[in-house]
């Protein structure tokens, strides 16, 4: 099989390419040049592209560099800025997977005559019965199925994730045995277009006008002010200008239009439910049947809800008719814009983006 392997310059994608070769596939490496600005934290630096190219040379495979910068700006950076402007907390890495790695790259693979695309993500794709399934990777601490929940049947059918059945230690051992230059390279961290020096504040300040906001408690009493409501997120405790020494308070609501941030004690962060938008179903029997006129399942069913990339899943029930996740026990409030991914055991069923849901206390302060 002809496989186009996305190589980020890290150890996982390096070993993924090597494993595909061992399996007898015709492998070509590629690196997507996505971000043309300053980068010192993610996987888009010039050094990363060079590392990917050199690993390809070590493996004896061709290596392409695809310039998808315009697509990245339109599909990832632009929505990231717009989401902050709306008082949300976006996840740009998920949008990059959705729009670039498993959309734009698949289109390029089609144009070049490849049968499949491979990446170094720690997750498992399996075919059982008539459907493809997405499951957690073998290394629970490194599992990345959360950021792949948007993959549908057509994409899963053409996606290979070779390292998903290995632990990170096993990946590094294989890289060391092969003498790959990325064997001991640290994992990439944070968002590739946010530098460690300037951070999110500088990045956004160059792209939107910040709005000062009042910080109030749940009774509407003014406590402090912030210079940029667009930088505040649900669950935040520091950087709010609150007087010290009292009971810790956390952000429970961000209202850009009203230029107001509502804070409450820790218990105020708890919620019984979250409603999702932009649902993406994967391979479970609950997934909509494309041949049925009304594809949404009619009954609620039990799930494990994961509300952040490395969060601990919690028991819940999902009502697909209202796209509402109801937690078995009160759970920490999820910021609007964050993804919530629902599992049965280790299998991804459906995921979506949390909608803004103001608490009763926040509503009473208006």
pLDDT at residue 360 in the model: 44
Relative to beta strand 339-344, strand 301-306 is: antiparallel
d(CA 90, CA 81): 9
For a pLDDT cut of 70, what percent of the chain falls above it? Answer: 91
Provide the annotated active-site residues: 96, 192
Q: In three state form, how does the secondary structure of 160-218 look?
A: ECHHHHCCHHHHHHHHHHHCCCCCCCCCCCCCCCCCCCCHHHHHHHCCCCCCCEEEECC
pLDDT per residue as tens digits for the range 345-358: 999 999 999 998 76
Of residues 39 and 133, more confidence is placed in 133
Taking a C-beta distance cutoff of 8 angstroms, is the pair 162, 15 a contact?
Answer: yes
> CB atoms < 10 A from the CB of 74, how many?
12
Taking a C-beta distance cutoff of 8 angstroms, is the pair 252, 268 a contact?
Answer: yes
Give me 253's structure tokens.
Answer: 């609501």
d(CA 195, CA 277): 30
Of residues 62 and 365, more confidence is placed in 62
C-alpha distances out from residue 289 to 129, 155, 276, Å? 14, 16, 20
> CB atoms < 10 A from the CB of 217, how many?
18
pLDDT at residue 361 in the model: 45
Burial of 345 (0-12, 13-18, 19+ CB in 10 A): exposed
pLDDT per residue as tens digits for the range 50-99: 999 999 999 999 999 999 999 999 999 999 999 999 999 999 999 999 99
286: confidence class by pLDDT, cuts 50, 70, 90: low
pLDDT at residue 168 in the model: 97
pLDDT at residue 40 in the model: 56
Q: What is the mean pLDDT of residues 324-352?
A: 96
Domains of the chain, with CATH numbers? 2-178 (3.40.50.620), 208-267 (2.30.30.280), 270-364 (2.40.30.10)
pLDDT at residue 279 in the model: 93
Q: In three state form, how does the secondary structure of 65-102 look?
A: EEECHHHHHHHHHHHHHHHHHCCCCCCHHHHHHHHHHH
As a whole number, the mean pLDDT across the chain is 91
d(CA 107, CA 99): 11
291: confidence class by pLDDT, cuts 50, 70, 90: low
Burial of 64 (0-12, 13-18, 19+ CB in 10 A): middle
Instruction: List Cβ<8 Å contacts ≥24 apart for 314-317.
Output: 316/342
Burial of 311 (0-12, 13-18, 19+ CB in 10 A): middle
pLDDT at residue 364 in the model: 46
- 261 pLDDT higher than 50: yes
For a pLDDT cut of 90, what percent of the chain falls above it? Answer: 81
pLDDT per residue as tens digits for the range 137-162: 999 999 999 999 999 999 999 999 99
pLDDT per residue as tens digits for the range 191-215: 888 887 878 999 999 999 999 999 9
**What are the two backbone dihedrals, phi and then psi, of residue 174, each rounded to the nearest 5 degrees?**
-65, -40
- 218 pLDDT higher than 70: yes
Least confident of 105-109, 126-130, 293-297: 293-297
43: confidence class by pLDDT, cuts 50, 70, 90: low
d(CA 226, CA 201): 13
pLDDT at residue 245 in the model: 77
pLDDT at residue 156 in the model: 95
Taking a C-beta distance cutoff of 8 angstroms, is the pair 319, 302 a contact?
Answer: no
Give me 32's structure tokens.
Answer: 């997507």
């Amino acid at each position: 099989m002809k496989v186009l392997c996305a190589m980020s310059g890290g150890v996982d994608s390096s070993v993924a390419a090597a494993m595909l070769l061992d399996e007898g596939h015709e492998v070509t490496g590629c690196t997507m040049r996505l971000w043309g600005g300053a980068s010192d934290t993610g996987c888009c630096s010039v050094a990363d592209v060079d590392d990917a190219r050199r690993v390809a040379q070590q493996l004896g495979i061709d290596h392409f560099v695809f310039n998808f910068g315009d697509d990245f700006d339109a599909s990832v950076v632009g929505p990231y800025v717009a989401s902050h402007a709306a008082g949300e907390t976006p996840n740009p890495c998920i949008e990059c997977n959705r729009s670039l790695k498993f959309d734009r790259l698949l289109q390029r693979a089609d144009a070049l005559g490849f049968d499949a695309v491979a990446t170094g993500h720690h997750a498992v794709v399996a075919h059982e019965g008539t459907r493809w399934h997405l499951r957690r990777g073998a290394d629970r601490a490194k599992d990345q199925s959360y950021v792949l929940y948007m993959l549908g049947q057509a994409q899963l059918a053409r996606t290979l994730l070779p390292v998903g059945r290995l632990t990170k230690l096993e990946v590094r051992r294989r890289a060391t045995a092969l003498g790959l230059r990325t064997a001991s390279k640290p994992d990439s961290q944070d968002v590739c277009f946010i530098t460690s020096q300037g951070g999110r504040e500088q990045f956004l300040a160059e792209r939107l006008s910040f709005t000062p906001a009042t910080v109030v408690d749940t009774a509407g009493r003014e406590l402090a002010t912030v210079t940029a409501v667009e930088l505040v997120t649900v669950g935040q405790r520091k950087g709010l200008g609150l007087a010290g020494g009292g009971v810790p308070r956390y952000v429970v609501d961000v209202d850009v239009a009203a230029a107001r941030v509502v804070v409450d004690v820790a218990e105020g962060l708890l919620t019984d439910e979250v409603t999702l938008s932009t649902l993406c179903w994967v391979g479970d029997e609950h997934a909509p049947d494309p041949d049925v006129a009304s594809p949404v399942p009619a009954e609620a069913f039990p799930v494990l809800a994961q509300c952040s990339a490395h969060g601990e899943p919690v028991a819940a029930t999902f009502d697909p008719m209202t796209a509402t996740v109801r937690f078995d026990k009160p759970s920490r409030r999820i910021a609007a814009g964050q993804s919530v991914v629902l599992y049965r055991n280790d299998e991804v069923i459906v995921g979506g983006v949390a909608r803004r849901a103001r608490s009763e206390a926040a509503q009473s302060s208006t």
